[in-house]
């Protein structure tokens, strides 16, 4: 939530956001994209300052990322449709950052196709490498 300053004469004109605007356009997407690429909170804070010209507290960035993490967890626990006509299972390698190092990890994906032809990601898991034993646990 963006808090714009008020002045007695209502002459203050924000430069980055419009009057009455409470969110920075694309702000959340930029935070999440940077975090997903393994950028540290401190570096996200610096990058957003360069983009918007204002300091965004890393605690606020952390809160936003926590909210997204909660949404991901809710997605994982969602109820699936009772039937899928087809299911696809695949694994691809994606660079993932753990603390300080980046390494390619196996991302397991299962996609279901319902009776209307709609494709839906049923689940995603990350492991060090692809193995038949991992698939048998899914």
Q: pLDDT, tens digit, for every residue of 63-112? A: 888 888 888 888 889 999 999 999 999 999 988 877 677 889 999 999 99
Give backbone dihedrals phi and psi of 122, rounded to 5 degrees, phi first.
-85, -30
pLDDT level of residue 7 (50, 70, 90 thresholds): low
Residues 39 and 100 in one domain: no
pLDDT level of residue 22 (50, 70, 90 thresholds): low
**Residue 17, domain extent:** 1-78
Q: What is the pLDDT of residue 85?
A: 97
List the Cα angle 95/98/104 in 5-degree steps: 25
Q: What is the pLDDT of residue 64?
A: 84
Residues 72 and 91 in one domain: no
Residues 50 and 11 in one domain: yes
Residues 65 and 107 in one domain: no
Residues 10 and 57 in one domain: yes
In a domain, 138, yes or no: no
Query: What is the rounded CA–CA span in Å between residue 106 and residue 131?
Result: 9
Q: What is the pLDDT of residue 61?
A: 86
Residues 51 and 96 in one domain: no
Question: From the CB of residue 63, how many other CB atoms can be counted at a distance below 10 Å?
Answer: 11
Percent of the chain whose predicted confidence (pLDDT) is above 90: 26
pTM, two decimals, is: 0.59
Residues 41 and 109 in one domain: no
Residues 35 and 74 in one domain: yes
Residues 41 and 101 in one domain: no
* 131 token code pair: 């193995």
* 123 token code pair: 């689940």
The stretch 115-130 carries a mean pLDDT of 92
**Closest C-alpha to 30, from 55, 3, 5, 65:** 65
């Amino acid at each position: 939530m963006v808090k714009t300053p008020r002045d007695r004469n209502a002459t203050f004109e924000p430069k980055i956001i419009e009057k009455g605007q409470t969110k920075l356009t694309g702000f959340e997407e930029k935070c999440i994209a940077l975090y997903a690429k393994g950028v540290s909170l401190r570096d996200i804070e610096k990058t957003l300052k360069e983009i918007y010209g204002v300091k965004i507290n890393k605690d606020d960035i952390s809160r936003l990322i926590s909210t997204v993490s909660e949404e991901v967890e809710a997605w994982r626990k969602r109820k699936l449709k009772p039937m899928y006509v087809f299911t696809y299972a695949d694994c691809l390698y994606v660079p993932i950052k753990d603390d300080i190092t980046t390494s390619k990890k196996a991302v397991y994906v299962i996609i279901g196709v319902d009776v209307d032809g709609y494709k839906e990601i049923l689940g995603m898991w990350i492991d060090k490498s692809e193995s038949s034993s991992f698939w048998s646990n899914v």
